[in-house]
Structure 1
Amino acid sequence: MALFRSLFRGREDVYPVRWTNKAGKSGYSPACQNEWTVVCKKLQIKCSECVHQAFESISNEIISRHLDAKKNRTIGLYPMLQDETCWFLAMDFDKHNWQQDAVAVLETCKEWQIPSALERSRSGNGGHVWFFFNQPIEAEIARKLGCAILTKTMERRYQISLDSYDRLFPNQDTLPKGGFGNLIALPLQGVPRKEGNSVFVDETFQPYEDLWSYLAGMEKLPIDRVQHLVYEMTKEGSLLSTGAWNETDEQDLPWTKTGASKHSALISGALPSQVNVVHSNMIYIEKKGSAICLHQAASKFGYVSESGFL
């Protein structure tokens, strides 16, 4: 228990729990002692705005229930602390080619001597690459490390688009006002672990025989090492941008709101006869001496369409 909680650390005053309704829809909500009581207004307001919130704190008992297959209760973690620091960074990969992309990232980590751990997700159709710190560090710095690793991976393996890359945890540099930031499901949940999921695997995707011994030997990065890595990995070029949004409530995504405004502008002056564009994990438009990155080009994020137009 002490080992688990020394690695997977986040907010301890509140945690999300996974639910599934009668229609089969699933999601996460903050565990609250007042949930569905007479004062609960979950269907009208966000839990973070409720005046009757009585959030449960993480305890050994809560973690034990998560690890126990008989309980079948999955919980998550809000990685960003209230002072906008974090104890770990995680990269999320999904889609059919997630294994290829995750291994490419592990190879970059090996080249730069960055300790990392690969977890197969609870569904088995994706994975998380984890990085642990020996003290809380600013989320902005942690995310820069993630961006630097992704950038170097793209440089090393240009034929890999990292199309399966989804997001970083934490997914913001700062806490959203009144919110908790995005959440990540904790690994080693009892039920999916029986099927070889929600476990840590090697580069051939075989689970480690003794997961606890493996985790006990996981090295944690000190902040000076993180800062040095970010400097060394970025001094010869710019970082990929990973974008950010509040994952705690998908209805907050601005491009999904009714009546969202769209802007266009006329460009005066001469235009080039040809523009070179690369469609990879993002859209890259060539400029003189540099390239500009349009955040999260995938159409599912709503920023840029498949045709490349804003």
Structure 2
Amino acid sequence: MTVPNGKRVPTPSDQRRCKPLTDQVLLDHFTKRDSQFHNVVGLYPLSKDSKVWFLAIDFDDDGWKEEIIVTKRVCENHGLHPIMERSRSGDGGHLCMFFSEEIEAAQAREMGTALLSEAAQKTHIRFRSYDRMFPNQDLLPSGGFGNLIALPLQRLARDAGNSVFVDEQFNPYADQWAFLDSVRRITAQQVNAIATLASANTGPLGNLAKFDSPIPHAVGQEKETDKQAPTTGNGSLRTGSRTPLSNADVPETITIIERSMLEISKTNLTPLAQNAVRRLAAFANPDFYRAQAMRQPVYNKPRIIYCGEETVDSILLPRGCRESVAALLTDAGCTVTFDDERNQGKRIRVKFIGSLRAPQSEAAKTMLEYDDGILVAPTGFGETVIAADLIAKRKTNTLIIIRSSSLMEQWRDRLEQFLTVKAKLPPLLTPTGRIIRRQHRYGHELCRDTSQGYCRLRTFPDYLG
């Protein structure tokens, strides 16, 4: 439905009028050449009672051919017989599994998730692959249909060799209909066996970091001590059960480079070891499961949040994973060393002129014991004054990133209240290089910016070094 400003909004479920699916509609899909693709038919896999006749996993990243082949062979190791379809664009493919009877979508997806997790131990399966299943929901969303997948064998795409079923050399089968007729379907017992096996081991998502509540207590209750005691140290993520590695999976020695992130070379790390390293910085997204449980749309809500990054030669993890990655590799027989290339910043002359309450002093003392950490505390605890005390003790120029301009003003006022900075500040310049009058005393030594502005920076000013 289109509104006057041109934006499209979902049509209410009680006002939807779907076109009937007729033989002519299907015939147009299979035979009609329409450059606008108005004749393409799509399918919503979920039935009204949240069951499915098939499961499809979408692969369309660089290296999708290797990913789909490895996942297919993992399926075959479990006695399944999936088939591969090249996508309409030709830049990806679907791994399709057909069932002999309707299967609960949740169980089918649990099986698919477990198969992906097993394949990830043999090649690089990206975490977003877990979000590219059809269906992408365990339950039919309230007022919706779930996600849509285009039917294969669309004529115009088929002319280009796409939207067809292919063999392991990615060549189309000569007779597509005869091939489909020969496909062996998967039974409910097979689906249940794989899902049960995964649950009995590490779960269908495999080994992931665990997310702990910083101040655990029963729902609806609040301990008196919770109001005063923040969580300090290295954050609220902890390593789950690690994937067991052997010395054949890792090199004899490895040097991890510490910069803005930990840079871990892939050289001589097996796919199993690389997967284990990545999973130290990945955890299940609670927002996805909360929305799914409430039958809300899960679009753009990843099942797994991955805090790492990737280059051709290296895996990049947050610095908070330093201890866990060292333990993982050391336990496998690898000697781990670290090369510290972090920016040490510039020394500044700064003095804290405030005073801390006992809980604040304890939190600040604990934070100073770590190079990296997260302070989680209730509103009004005094995080800003603790930060000012830490800046004075570290005596290093500091970048403060804040989510809104109103908070930025609040931080400015508190820093000017609790800190005295003695420094010759460099000139403050406009983007065109013009010198402007400085409005605040600590514009460079204690640089503040909103998170949105920080993300827009293409190059970093010298004073951030």
TM-score normalized with structure 2 length = 0.45
Instruction: Kindly indicate whether residue 196 of structure 2 is the aligned counterpart of residue 240 of structure 1.
Output: no
SS in 1 for 2:280: strand
Does the 8 A contact of 2:120 with 2:275 survive in 1?
no
Does the 8 A contact of 2:71 with 2:119 survive in 1?
yes
Mark the CA change 1:209 to 1:40 in structure 2 (over 3 Å): closer, same or farther: farther
Deviation at residue 191 of structure 1 after TM alignment: 0.3
Instruction: Kindly indicate whether residue 189 of structure 2 is the aligned counterpart of residue 194 of structure 1.
Output: no
Mark the CA change 1:164 to 1:43 in structure 2 (over 3 Å): closer, same or farther: closer
Equivalent residue number for residue 382 of structure 2: none
Equivalent residue number for residue 96 of structure 1: 62
Instruction: Kindly indicate whether residue 176 of structure 2 is the aligned counterpart of residue 181 of structure 1.
Output: no
SS in 1 for 2:279: strand
Give the Cα separation in 1 of the matches to 2:7 and 2:14: 14
Percent same amino acid at aligned positions?
Answer: 31
Give deviations 1:201-249, integer Å, cap 9, x for gaps: 01111111111111001111121221122223443322217xxxxxxxx
Following superposition of structure 1 onto structure 2, how do residues 132-151 of structure 1 map, counting pairs within 5 Å?
132-151=98-117
Following superposition of structure 1 onto structure 2, how do residues 41-56 of structure 1 map, counting pairs within 5 Å?
43=7, 45-47=9-11, 49=12, 51-56=14-19
Q: What residue identity is the alignment partner of 2:283?
A: C
Moved more, 274-283 or 120-129: 274-283
Deviation at residue 269 of structure 1 after TM alignment: 4.7
Deviation at residue 147 of structure 1 after TM alignment: 0.6
Does the 8 A contact of 2:103 with 2:188 survive in 1?
yes
Instruction: Kindly indicate whether residue 171 of structure 2 is the aligned counterpart of residue 217 of structure 1.
Output: no
How many aligned residue pairs are there?
238
CA RMSD of aligned residues (A): 3.6
Deviation at residue 305 of structure 1 after TM alignment: 5.4
Mark the CA change 1:133 to 1:213 in structure 2 (over 3 Å): closer, same or farther: same
Deviation at residue 69 of structure 1 after TM alignment: 3.3
Mark the CA change 1:50 to 1:43 in structure 2 (over 3 Å): closer, same or farther: farther
Deviation at residue 100 of structure 1 after TM alignment: 0.7
Q: What residue identity is the alignment partner of 1:101?
A: E
Deviation at residue 63 of structure 1 after TM alignment: 1.2
Following superposition of structure 1 onto structure 2, how do residues 29-40 of structure 1 map, counting pairs within 5 Å?
none
Equivalent residue number for residue 79 of structure 2: 113
Give deviations 1:259-294, integer Å, cap 9, x for gaps: xxxxxxx9525549x9879986996237xxxxx624
Equivalent residue number for residue 160 of structure 1: 124
Give the Cα separation in 1 of the matches to 2:8 and 2:182: 46
Give the Cα separation in 1 of the matches to 2:152 and 2:4: 29
Equivalent residue number for residue 283 of structure 2: 293
Give the Cα separation in 1 of the matches to 2:277 and 2:99: 29
Does the 8 A contact of 2:165 with 2:172 survive in 1?
yes
TM-score normalized with structure 1 length = 0.66
Equivalent residue number for residue 249 of structure 1: none
Point out the structure with max Rg over C-alpha: 2
Does the 8 A contact of 1:283 with 1:294 survive in 2?
no
Instruction: Kindly indicate whether residue 172 of structure 2 is the aligned counterpart of residue 170 of structure 1.
Output: no
Give the Cα separation in 1 of the matches to 2:79 and 2:172: 22
Give the Cα separation in 2 of the matches to 1:137 and 1:42: 40
Q: What residue identity is the alignment partner of 1:148?
A: A
Instruction: Kindly indicate whether residue 193 of structure 2 is the aligned counterpart of residue 228 of structure 1.
Output: yes
Equivalent residue number for residue 69 of structure 1: 32
Moved more, 191-200 or 162-171: 162-171
Structure of higher RCO (CA pairs closer than 8 Å, 6+ residues apart): 1
Following superposition of structure 1 onto structure 2, how do residues 254-265 of structure 1 map, counting pairs within 5 Å?
none
Higher helix share: 2
Give the Cα separation in 2 of the matches to 1:167 and 1:281: 22
Moved more, 94-103 or 52-61: 52-61
Give the Cα separation in 2 of the matches to 1:282 and 1:137: 34
Equivalent residue number for residue 359 of structure 2: none
Does the 8 A contact of 1:163 with 1:281 survive in 2?
no
Does the 8 A contact of 1:132 with 1:221 survive in 2?
yes
Give the Cα separation in 1 of the matches to 2:95 and 2:111: 13
Give the Cα separation in 2 of the matches to 1:173 and 1:41: 35
Give the Cα separation in 1 of the matches to 2:49 and 2:105: 9
Equivalent residue number for residue 7 of structure 1: none
Equivalent residue number for residue 96 of structure 2: 130
Does the 8 A contact of 1:85 with 1:138 survive in 2?
yes
Deviation at residue 192 of structure 1 after TM alignment: 0.5
Q: What residue identity is the alignment partner of 1:285?
A: L
Give the Cα separation in 2 of the matches to 1:174 and 1:107: 28
